[in-house]
Amino acid sequence: MSSRHKTYIASPQSVIHGTLRVPGDKSISHRAIMLAALAEGTTEITGFLEGEDALATLQAFRDMEVSIEGPLAGRVIVHGVGLHGLKPPAKPLYLGNAGTAMRLMAGLMAAQTFDVTLTGDKSLSRRPMNRVVKPLTAMGAVIDSGEDGHPPLMIRGRQKLKGIHYDMPVASAQVKSCLLLAGLYADGETSVTEPGVARDHTERMLRGLGYPVAIDGRQVAITGGGRLTSAGQIDVPADISSAAFFLVAASIAPGSELLLTHVGVNPTRTGVIDILRLMGADITFENEQETGGEPVADIRVRHAPLKGVTIPKHLVPLAIDEFPVLFVAAACAEGETLLQGAEELRVKESDRIQVMADGLNALGVKAVALPDGMRISGSTAGQLFQSGVVHSHGDHRIAMAFAVASLRSQGDIRILDCANVATSFPNFVGLARSVGLNVRETES
């Protein structure tokens, strides 16, 4: 895991253009390793994200004696051990900065025949886990946690889980997936009802591995006692959350045009595109197809003048990871942009509402943090961001968002604490420079 301090220096640039493929989808990479390990047979994963978060998940299963070859150029071969074949790890499972991995692993580990402790880095250790601990406890799991439900999670094995019905208070793919994975081992049916749409990668992949999943409107149900069979191959598309930085970059820089190839466009993940289109962005899909149960497309984006909008609340959970860079788009739009109903942003890798508001204000943009969102006064003036220093607080998406802002800045933007970009987007700087962004990294 990265321990060095890194600073980005992002300098003004007028236009970007080209074709690129961003790294593989992080959410799907996590799930591919987990479910391939629990399947019977060998699964080849292509397009795997070789970022620190996904590599932490891979290592956790190696620590439980699953044989995994790779990764090499995004290719991983997993020799599955079946639902009951995991072995006790010799030490706590370290999940780095990966909140997705910890919440999903909590569901899987709650049903094993051995005790296990899930740990993470300083940032992950501040993130709330009660949202999965409480429903897992209702299923019969025994989990001890740190103060206020924070990691580490100490999970007692040899518990007999029972299926429950759980009405989620907020839409969360991580909570839903956690309970479905626990439900693989539970007696009877486990069902989850969502108050809104959340990403459905787990359900799609379970079905692809031969496990029945019942979906009725916003209720998803699974019955324990089945088995997972190898799909042979899982193709991980490019991550739309990573593509989002370039969607905004080309939208805000006059004269720009980019083609982003083989991007996952699962409708539970395309909120960022829906919001940008509402703002006036010129985004089109080409070469649409389906691979491994997931829709993919090449995405072409051209510069277009943006306008401020009130973001529809139904789109919030579909773009929850992309709001840092959407705030940059809002700063470049004519008029005001208002986001509400996104309190989830306060418990991500950082308090993304406050950290982005502080950074935008430091660069001369009027941004007001709200309890559940933000109000941003946009501008279509030429170079609208002042030069300055912003702190990412170790949050990879904050760091990359402010790098994109440099396309409309008066001078250099210095972004502190950027080492964690490697958790989701290895070689961000190299790919960004390949299409014209003027960003470099230094050790600090």
Active site residues: 321
Cis omega (within 30 of 0) on the bond before 89?
no
Q: Rounded to an integer, what distance in angstroms lies between the CA atom of residue 124 and that of residue 114?
A: 24
Strand partners, 214: 221
Q: Which residue has the tokens 């996952």?
A: 264
The CB density around residue 262, as the number of other CB atoms within 10 Å, is 19
What is the chain's Cα-based Rg? 21
- Is the torsion defined by CA of 58, 59, 63, 66 positive or negative? positive
DSSP string, 407-443: GGBSS-EEEE--GGGGGT-TTHHHHHHHTT-EEEEEE
Q: State how far the alpha carbon of 353 is from the alpha carbons of 110, 204, 317, 322, 359, in Å.
A: 33, 31, 15, 12, 10
The Cα 127–Cα 347 span in angstroms is 6
Please list, in sequence order, all residues whose beta carbon lies within 8 angstroms of the beta carbon of residue 304, skipping any fewer than 6 positions away. 251, 280, 281, 282
Q: Give which of 365, 339, 366, 334 is closest to 352, Cα–Cα.
A: 339
Structure token pair of residue 386: 């002042």
Closest-CA residue to 265 (of 284, 280, 246): 284
Collect all residues with Cβ–Cβ distance below 8 Å to 438 and sequence separation of at least 6.
Answer: 10, 11, 12, 13, 406
Residue 321's contacts (CB-CB under 8 Å, 6 or more residues apart) are: 241, 348, 397
| 287: its two tokens | 């070469």
Q: How far apart are CA 56 and CA 60, in angstroms?
A: 6
Among residues 205, 177, 239, 201, the alpha carbon closest in space to that of 50 is found at: 239
Which residue type, as a one-letter code, is found at position 411? Answer: G
Q: Round to whole Å and give the CA distance between 287 and 265.
A: 12
